[in-house]
Structure 1
Amino acid sequence: YSHHLKQGGAYKCSASNIRWEVTRETHIEYKTTLWEDHLTHQQRNSWIIAGLLWEITANSEDITAIHLPHFIDYQALNDLDPPLIQIANFKDGSVSLEPASKVHPTRVVFENPKFSLLGVIICLLPCIRPIPVKGLVMVYHSQEAADVTLHVYIIPDDPAMQEAIKLKEKGSRHIMKPPVVRSMYFGHDYLLKSPCKQVEIKPKQGVEFCYVRSGQTINFYEVYSKNVNENITLWLHAMNSETCLWEAEVRPGDLSSHGDQTEADSQYDLINREHRRNLIKHINVMQPICSNLLDYNIITDEEKEAILSHPTASEKKR
């Protein structure tokens, strides 16, 4: 990611959900990197990774605060001792733990940052109770398997893991269902069930909920049915609990041709790109419209900058 911010203010990247508070015009570049390349064995056992690890290049003097996204469950924040939520700051082969200035339901604020590698963690050593995190369910229909075969992934709400699954399931159809799961716990086992007699689910035992690092296998449930014309109901439970954490209904219409979806998506993207080009060419009152479009994630910060860099028709006439 690369952003050139033309004046002081508060900014949000719609792609990464990072927010910035800057005092003046500045340039920021950043990308994600792998936690496992920087963690020691002791750190892996004493920290909970609570967000992506960011490699950031910027002038610290221009930036008063950075807001880093996290996937700690909001219900846990009231019970969690704030000093346990920290920013791991890796630099020159060593790491320091910085206190979070503020903690919001979806992000952690780090004021007066010094940039290198930054990521949100929770220290486990003084903590007795497990920490709830936000869970996510992703359902894919395998196009190559027999009859109806679904792959169901239960993961923390982590963009890096989502991208890894999308890459792994390339060629499969992503079935959009309500993804959010109630509070889940790393190290606990969860069980996928179905009341439908014709449905087979493997493995039959629980799957451990964990943060999967790059290169490790991401476990999933395989759901199979011979009957392509009936709904498949799915429930997610914690082991030894009847409380339903997530429920979804996969209908025959959800299993339509992947090729049709790809073609429709391509047509949508083509239309969307054309509208964006027209937006850049024809809008006369730029700033307020761009701000609203950015708030609704219709355009990105880069596209906003591209639009504002072009003089409007009224400006050309002056």
Structure 2
Amino acid sequence: MGISTSSISEDQESSQEHGSGVGYSEEHQVVSCCAAKLHFEVKRDYKNPQFLGPEGNVDVELTDENANRYSIRFPAAGWYLWSATGLGFVVRAAATVRIAFGSWSQHLALDLQHHEQWLVAGPLFDITVEPEEAVYEIHLPHFISLQAGEVDISWFLVAHFKDEGMVLEHPARVEPFYAVLENPSFSLMGILLRIASGTRFSISITSNVLMYYHSHPKDIRFHLYLVPSDALIRKAIDDEEDRFCGVRLQTSPPMEPLNFGAYYIVSNSAHLEIIPTELKLSYRSPGEIQPFSKFYAGQMKEPIQVEITDKRHGTLVWKTVVKPVDIQLGAAAAPPVSSGAAFVKENLRQLQVRMGDLKGVLDDLQDSEVLTENEKELVEQAKTQQSKNRALLSMVEKKGDPALEELYRSISKRDPYLVLHLRQQTL
């Protein structure tokens, strides 16, 4: 397989200033406009998915269920986000997009991954667009955590699989949940992370803990998965569990980003046998069997606390409590979309860690009279980003639910991908 690499040219760098159509600043205006509608429910039903667009939701047509192929017609210029996958487009004009899901294992040999020190960093999409020039930007989702500051942005590469082999391209920029290609060409494509030769540290990634139960007259069985935060992997696991009548419990994500390739220990308070007790956090394509831990709880008359700890350091990274009532109600309809205040309360820790530049949020909260000028200055005076986030969340939480609703509205407008990411993780 031939491999070639194309770098960002001076022409690409200057396209933000001189490119026609939707520019970088205009894109953020479009994002802000659409994100005010981000109170939508992120659906698990992939057979009737939708894009969030500037004029509301745009339906996605499933054209081939066996091949997971979809067709979408973007009716006008603007920003469009596929909530089920995190895939986004900024378009200059109306366009028709066709998307299928690919498998890395079919196109990137494992020995090549290990030799070149490449890590799969997000889903693989087969994308075609008509007309191709209508797309100004494509946002490809990734699950690499940038908050630790250990990952060099230059390590991110977009892999295109074409007739001549794999062609690598540097993205124009990398954001916390996606990488951006400007004026892109389309193919089978996805994000890879190329680690510098000789580098010996763990890469932190955002991840999901998925927990399912299977009810039987005499026994209740649980399956627990620890996987990268990839919507397509989550869909594949949901589909596989559905085949055997598994019901997913609502769980929170790990408390911090976890390390790619590390081992984690699964345990429970009831001393039930768990097989296996160790799970390795690694990437497997959605079409492959995903490893999980299994344990039985009998008729489950008492609550069970389940924990995951880092094998190397012994630190707790995730825990949940499952009560008998959770099993009784689990087969009911999906929980309703929570209010903005409830969303902030449920994700306080994640927001403290992951919120970025607060300037726009602070301006919004001052304009809506949630914060005074002095309170705004107190937040700005904090030394680190996390301490600023902590101060803001503490102030707003003390002011009650109406203030939290205003905070949620502002975060949705300023950072819709963060809100989408947190909503997806707790589905």
State TM-score, norm by structure 1. Answer: 0.75
| 2:204 is equivalent to residue 132 of structure 1 | yes
The question of whether the paired residues in 2 share the 8 Å contact of 1:136 and 1:155 is answered with: yes
Secondary structure, counterpart of 1:74 in structure 2: coil
Aligned-pair CA distance for 1:41: 4.0
| 2:77 is equivalent to residue 20 of structure 1 | no
The question of whether the paired residues in 1 share the 8 Å contact of 2:208 and 2:254 is answered with: yes
Q: Which residue of 2 aligns with 1:63?
A: 135
Structure 1: where are the runs of 5+ without partners?
Answer: 269-291, 298-318
Q: Which residue of 1 aligns with 2:291?
A: 219
For residues 122 and 228 of structure 1, do their structure 2 counterparts lie closer, same or farther at Cα, with a shift above 3 Å needed? same
Q: Which amino acid aligns with 1:176?
A: Q
Aligned-pair CA distance for 1:239: 0.5
Deviations 1:192-241 (A, max 9, x none): 122334x332224x222211235543221122233611110011111032
The question of whether the paired residues in 2 share the 8 Å contact of 1:191 and 1:239 is answered with: yes
For residues 144 and 254 of structure 1, do their structure 2 counterparts lie closer, same or farther at Cα, with a shift above 3 Å needed? same
Q: Which residue of 1 aligns with 2:174?
A: 103
Match runs of 1:19-98 below 5 Å? 19-45=88-114, 46-58=117-129, 59-76=131-148, 78-98=149-169
Q: Which amino acid aligns with 1:90?
A: F
- Identify, as 1 or 2, the structure richer in helix: 2
Deviations 1:151-195 (A, max 9, x none): 111111112221221122120121112134522222211101223
Secondary structure, counterpart of 2:168 in structure 1: strand
| 2:276 is equivalent to residue 203 of structure 1 | yes
Q: Which residue of 2 aligns with 1:310?
A: none
- How far apart are the structure 1 equivalents of 2:205 and 2:232? 16
Aligned-pair CA distance for 1:68: 0.8
Match of 2:249 among 172, 175, 184: 175
Secondary structure, counterpart of 1:165 in structure 2: helix
Q: Which residue of 2 aligns with 1:11?
A: 80
Structure 1 stretch 166-175 or stretch 206-215: which is displaced more? Answer: 206-215
Secondary structure, counterpart of 2:144 in structure 1: coil
Structure 2: where are the runs of 5+ without partners?
Answer: 1-69, 337-412, 421-427
Secondary structure, counterpart of 1:164 in structure 2: helix
The question of whether the paired residues in 2 share the 8 Å contact of 1:181 and 1:245 is answered with: yes
Paired residues in the alignment total 264
- How far apart are the structure 2 equivalents of 1:114 and 1:7? 20
Q: Which residue of 1 aligns with 2:388?
A: none
For residues 215 and 23 of structure 1, do their structure 2 counterparts lie closer, same or farther at Cα, with a shift above 3 Å needed? closer
% same residue: 28
Q: Which amino acid aligns with 2:144?
A: I
- How far apart are the structure 1 equivalents of 2:76 and 2:304? 53
- How far apart are the structure 2 equivalents of 1:17 and 1:215? 19
- How far apart are the structure 2 equivalents of 1:70 and 1:110? 13
Aligned-pair CA distance for 1:71: 0.9
For residues 54 and 201 of structure 1, do their structure 2 counterparts lie closer, same or farther at Cα, with a shift above 3 Å needed? same
For residues 41 and 232 of structure 1, do their structure 2 counterparts lie closer, same or farther at Cα, with a shift above 3 Å needed? closer
Structure 1 stretch 155-164 or stretch 243-252: which is displaced more? Answer: 155-164
- How far apart are the structure 1 equivalents of 2:192 and 2:92? 27
Q: Which residue of 1 aligns with 2:264?
A: 190
For residues 74 and 82 of structure 1, do their structure 2 counterparts lie closer, same or farther at Cα, with a shift above 3 Å needed? closer
Match of 1:159 among 227, 231, 237: 231
Q: Which residue of 2 aligns with 1:288?
A: none
Aligned-pair CA distance for 1:53: 0.7
Deviations 1:52-78 (A, max 9, x none): 1111111332112111111112324x3
Structure 1 stretch 133-142 or stretch 32-41: which is displaced more? Answer: 32-41
State TM-score, norm by structure 2. Answer: 0.57
Match of 1:241 among 313, 331, 342: 313
- How far apart are the structure 2 equivalents of 1:33 and 1:203? 29
- How far apart are the structure 1 equivalents of 2:171 and 2:90? 15
- Identify, as 1 or 2, the structure richer in strand: 1
Deviations 1:94-133 (A, max 9, x none): 1111111111111111112111111011012434322111
The question of whether the paired residues in 1 share the 8 Å contact of 2:275 and 2:295 is answered with: yes
